[in-house]
Amino acid sequence: MTTPQNPSGEDSLIALYFKPLATDPGAFGLVDDAAILSSAGEDIVVTTDAVVEGVHYLATDPPDSIARKALRVNLSDLAAKGAEPAGFVLTLALRSKEDAWLRPFADALGKDAKTFACPLLGGDTVSTPGPQMISITAFGRVPKGRMIGRTGARPGDLILVTGTIGDAALGLDVLTGGAAAGAVASDPAARDALISRYRIPQPRNALAQAVRDHATAAMDVSDGLAGDLTKLCAASGVSATVEVASVPLSTAARDLVARNAVCVETLLAGGDDYEVLCTVSPAQSDALIAAGQAVGVAVTAIGTIVEGRERPRFLDGQGQELALKRLSYSHF
């Protein structure tokens, strides 16, 4: 951040587009070098995720959805940690300061910040020859010692997942002319629903308290369900079995699998789901499922944590293990 005495292009850009989003007094109207987050009897949970043009979103995606994705992938991490959003800082690397891009970007970011009670606290804006990047660090609050980590899963725990899995990967496939594109061409409603799941994640912050109260371990599904469960199990020193038939799919995804237009691996390993994956002791699962029902989010049991260190096993209807060739998206 810079001071306002000698307004530069960056200062006026910040004042015009982002000052209205800085509603927390600790943000000092975005004119100081730093912000303050105060906390009494709480832990501040910190998480960061960048979205890069061509890697996390398509250059053709509308600016409002890019803004929402950038914030929501971070909100999703807070939800999975059982944390209530407190605020975020934003680093923007932009090719130009075109109003036609920045105005809808800032408006959508502001709307989401309000919806999720997560105000802008500060940040930095820089130019780049491209590709563009939006990096957000979000802060959340939990009562002291109550953040849900990845290490608490124990044999016998049930594995639960929110929402549906695989839609975002199918949405990307549709947008990039993959196998799903032809298969949904005659069903515009399904096509739009899948694209929307890719462009605009639905973070499960309404379930943060239930996750905090009932889960033994949790993370969000960003890279792919199979790979993310593998990471959670490794962190907890356990293994898992998953009934693939229990993995919640949208009607559109179920239909595409039934018609052999896409394989189930695309759904399990595709990523971009931004659902909560968590483990609970069997006695706690009904409470978490009911908490989901209360806010209109399906919470589904997909398997069980078992002893061992081997990779989680994904079983078909006959109890045969699926040989997944890939588990998740990988950057490198």
Task: Write each residue from 64 to 103 as x if it is in contact with ligand TPP (CB under 6 A), else as -, in one continuous string.
Answer: ----------------------------------------
Q: DSSP secondary structure string, 41-103? A: SEEEEEEEEEEEBTTTB-TTS-HHHHHHHHHHHHHHHHHHTTPEEEEEEEEEEES---HHHHH
Which run of H or of E encompasses 241?
strand 239-243
Task: Say if residues 308 and 238 touch (Cβ distance below 8 Å).
Answer: yes
| 201 counts as binding ligand TPP under rule CB under 6 A | no
Which among 224, 204, 201 is positioned nearest to 212, based on CA atoms? 204
* Closer to ligand TPP by Cβ: residue 55 or 189: 55
Task: Say if residues 136 and 85 touch (Cβ distance below 8 Å).
Answer: no
| 277 counts as binding ligand TPP under rule CB under 6 A | no
Task: Write each residue from 52 to 71 as x if it is in contact with ligand TPP (CB under 6 A), else as -, in one continuous string.
Answer: --xxxxx-------------
What's the closest the beta carbon of residue 3 comes to ligand TPP, in angstroms? Answer: 33
* Closer to ligand TPP by Cβ: residue 101 or 329: 329
Three-state DSSP at 273 gives coil
The DSSP secondary-structure symbol of 157 reads: P
Check whether 112 is labelled as a binding-site residue.
no
Which one of the spans 51-59, 132-140, 230-238, 245-253 is the region binding ligand TPP (CB under 6 A)?
51-59
Check whether 107 is labelled as a binding-site residue.
no
> Can you tell me which of 157, 223, 265, 275 binds ligand TPP, judged by CB under 6 A?
223
Check whether 220 is labelled as a binding-site residue.
yes
Which among 106, 97, 93 is positioned nearest to 133, based on CA atoms? 93
Check whether 64 is labelled as a binding-site residue.
no
Task: Kindly identify the residues of this chain, within the stretch 143-172, that bind ligand TPP according to CB under 6 A.
Answer: 172
What is the spatial distance between Cα 87 and Cα 113, in angstroms, rounded to a whole number?
Answer: 8
Q: How many residues touch ligand TPP (CB under 6 A)?
A: 12
Amino acid identity, residue 79?
A
What's the closest the beta carbon of residue 188 comes to ligand TPP, in angstroms? Answer: 22
Whether the link from the prior residue into 131 is cis, omega within 30° of 0, is yes
> Can you tell me which of 49, 157, 173, 265 binds ligand TPP, judged by CB under 6 A?
49
Q: Pick out the residues of the known binding site for Mg(2+).
A: 33, 47-49, 77, 124, 220, 223
Q: Which stretches of the chain bind ligand TPP, using CB under 6 A?
A: 49, 54-58, 172, 222-223, 271-272, 329
